Structure 1
Amino acid sequence: MFDYLIVGAGFAGSVLAERLAAVEGKKVLLIDKRNHIGGNAYDFYDEAGILIHKYGPHIFHTNSAEVFNYLAKFTDWRNYQHKVLAHTHGQYVPIPINLTTINDLYGKNLDSSGVTDFFAAIKEDVQQVKTSEDVVVKAVGRELYETFFKGYTKKQWDLDPSELDASVASRVPTRTNKDDRYFTDTYQAMPLHGFTKMFEKMLSHPNIKLMLNTDYHEIMHEISFEKMIFTGPVDEYFDFCFGKLPYRSINFKFETLDQKTYQRTGTINYPNDYDFTRITEFKYLTGQKHKKTTVVYEFPKSDGDPYYPIPRPENNELYKKYQALASQSETIFVGRLATYKYYNMDQVVAQALSVFKKIKQENELNLDPERVASNSSLSNE
């Protein structure tokens, strides 16, 4: 008899498994259809002995001390600030767009005040910001939009930015200084020995039983459990009764090279040339010393494992139908796939910690009849 059956051993499922086992003393069965833990953050050593991320680069960053300190229970950190270049017009320039980007691209020698005036002169007056195109042209104008965003977005989402919710482009800021870090979060670090080692420590509690290569359909009627927590696709849980929620997937092409480094920084974006969107070199991310190096090319596609929920109004409306079903279910839905949200890793951890707090409060209420009666009488007034 298990207290909880948790479906999915990524961040959402693993954090909840650990908290329920360690804090509440609950017996947890954690299952995953893949042959490994860690979800899309899973990393491993390839044949050359280089630590790589199987599902593309995962770079941890957060402004939440709670999230950072929680994960620090299971890993030491390596300080790392990610930097990205974009290859365009035969040059490699910083992205997000900053002062250096403009000076290099246009052969100028502007300071922060000058680049502010430059943006002011070229940006478009958009009254209502509804789409990703609106966000960018309002900030930096049409030319820079077409240089850095239009082609990249088309490859990544198979949609024009004018067809995508404003939230997508809003993730990428525009800077008037020389800050060339991709993220500006308070905490920027990588698990010292990799994500998988962190997950192994997180799931080492004796109250957690782990089953891999297991589809929940195969066992949920064979095993006794009190409550289910589901971190997989919400539409799959409800047998796609309203139709499939759209996602983008990625084909990853790995290449090991007999040289110490391949490129100038961790990731280089290719917004306009080639079929791939970017190339990432893992040794920058991990800090590993090795005579060889491994890179990954990313080719977005429409079919395959669901990675990115596509933020469009019609997709959100479809999700709301599943959300209504989920709200009536006794199952708890957590994570990017279960809530159809374009979450970063730290946001998933924060969501899982928040859900745990609610579960803990409910458990405390159930153990205290007077508090249950008090809450019940209040709710009836």
Structure 2
Amino acid sequence: MQYDYLVVGAGFAGSVCAERLSSAGNTVLLIDKRDHIGGNAYDCVDSNGILIHPYGPHIFHTNSQRIFEYLSKFTDWRFYEHRVLAELEGRRYPIPINKTTINTLYNLNLQDDEVEDFYKSRRIAVSEIRTSEDIVLNSVGHDLCEKFFRGYTRKQWGLDLSELSAGVAARIPTRTNDDDRYFTDSFQFMPSEGYSIMFEKMLAHKNIEIRLSTSYEYAKESESYRHTIFTGPIDLFFEYKFGPLPYRSLRFEHEHFPTTEFFQETGTVNFPNDFNYTRITEFKYLTGQQAEGTSIVREFPQSDGDPYYPIPRPDNEATFKKYQELAEQSRNVTFVGRLANYRYYNMDQVVANALSACEKLSGQKG
């Protein structure tokens, strides 16, 4: 059989593309090297009956009504606002840094209109913002940088703040009030039955054939198709012509506590300076599941393993640009998603990227 599209990767990018293209009347072969759909957003019930995210927490948030309405075709939602604490010397403080963080940490009693002056008194003026260190020092100064940012960044990325592009630290704001929500997006929800069921509904179209535990190398030699949607690492696609692009990986350590209702007081606790893991997430907060016992995951960043995060540095971006030029010259292939675009996209950004790509391909079969 000849397919209109071969879609490589069944995560958000590939699944959205498969759904959109099949709905437009195209035949789609969707493959994934893993034995499940959903990519890193895949969730499942563990052996103790708790719905978990095997590849770490995935918390949906967006300001785009369009993205929210699109995904709402495949799931109902559970309202959920994520909250994070950071542990310093045995005490826990809200993250992003807010008024409560400052008052508790420094034994102060600042009011909302006084917090900005506090930040101003601590800031170190940086004339040219080039790195994440520049961003943090220019925002909150040296002490808060050392307490909350430098150690966490070194664990997460294997690099110092001064070695990372400014955009990494720019993702985390500071606040002058007591708002302790990790995100402030207009839409903050979790799929009511989980991500995997949402993906199953998304991919239920009769024009989609799904093959799991299938490599791209095998499919491109054994199948007939007119166009490829590639959502894997772009350097892999071009056989590392300009050398491998650096990615940061993760190792996950899952643990269940059968007699504990809740392990910690909020969904995620960060550990910027202690231990060799960056954070612990407790899934019952995310899912709202009522169950005996609780399951957590600890995240250990590492250099080897499946690629999770493109590492934002100028030299890496220069290498990516070379691959991007090859991609633009390639006929009959479209690159979609975080790894294919070497971008630190959130889930909603991946969906937007996939929808945009499919709109450009609309009516095109070659």
* TM-score band, normalised by shorter chain: over 0.9
Encode CA deviations 1:134-163: one digit per residue, 9 max, x unaligned: 101101100000000000000000100000
Query: Secondary structure at 1:221's aligned position in 2?
Result: helix
**How many residues are aligned here?**
363
2:346 aligns with one of 344, 364, 368: 344
Partner residue in 2 for 1:256? 256
Structure 1 CA distance, aligned partners of 2:155 and 2:307?
16
Partner residue in 2 for 1:289? 290
Instruction: For 1:40-189, list aligned pairs within 5 A.
Output: 40-189=40-189
Partner residue in 2 for 1:207? 207
Structure 2 CA distance, aligned partners of 1:61 and 1:184?
8
Instruction: For 1:5-44, list aligned pairs within 5 A.
Output: 5-22=6-23, 24-44=24-44
Q: Which structure has the greater CA radius of gyration?
A: 1
Partner residue in 1 for 2:328? 327
Partner residue in 2 for 1:309? 310
Structure 2 CA distance, aligned partners of 1:190 and 1:224?
37
Structure 2 CA distance, aligned partners of 1:20 and 1:273?
47
Structure 2 CA distance, aligned partners of 1:358 and 1:238?
23
Q: CA deviation at 1:362?
A: 5.0
Partner residue in 2 for 1:372? none
Q: CA deviation at 1:222?
A: 1.8
Structure 2 CA distance, aligned partners of 1:256 and 1:89?
25
Structure 1 CA distance, aligned partners of 2:66 and 2:128?
36
Structure 1 CA distance, aligned partners of 2:156 and 2:219?
36
Partner residue in 1 for 2:239? 239
Query: Secondary structure at 2:7's aligned position in 1?
Result: strand
The TM-score normalised by the length of structure 2 is 0.98
Structure 2 CA distance, aligned partners of 1:42 and 1:248?
19
Structure 1 CA distance, aligned partners of 2:220 and 2:211?
12
Partner residue in 2 for 1:4? 5
Partner residue in 2 for 1:378? none
Partner residue in 1 for 2:268? 267
Q: CA deviation at 1:360?
A: 1.2
Q: CA deviation at 1:112?
A: 1.3
Query: Secondary structure at 1:48's aligned position in 2?
Result: coil
Q: What percent identity do the matched residue pairs reach?
A: 60
Letter in 2 for 1:334: V
Query: Secondary structure at 1:225's aligned position in 2?
Result: strand
The TM-score normalised by the length of structure 1 is 0.94
Structure 2 CA distance, aligned partners of 1:271 and 1:322?
34
Q: CA deviation at 1:90?
A: 2.5
Q: Does 1:298 align with 2:278?
A: no
Letter in 2 for 1:59: I
Partner residue in 2 for 1:353? 355
Query: Secondary structure at 2:153's aligned position in 1?
Result: helix
Structure 2 CA distance, aligned partners of 1:130 and 1:51?
41
Partner residue in 2 for 1:190? 190
Query: Secondary structure at 2:307's aligned position in 1?
Result: coil
Query: Secondary structure at 2:362's aligned position in 1?
Result: helix
Ranges of 4+ aligned residues in structure 1 off by more than 4 Å: none
Structure 1 CA distance, aligned partners of 2:17 and 2:50?
30
- 5+ long unaligned stretches in structure 1: 367-381
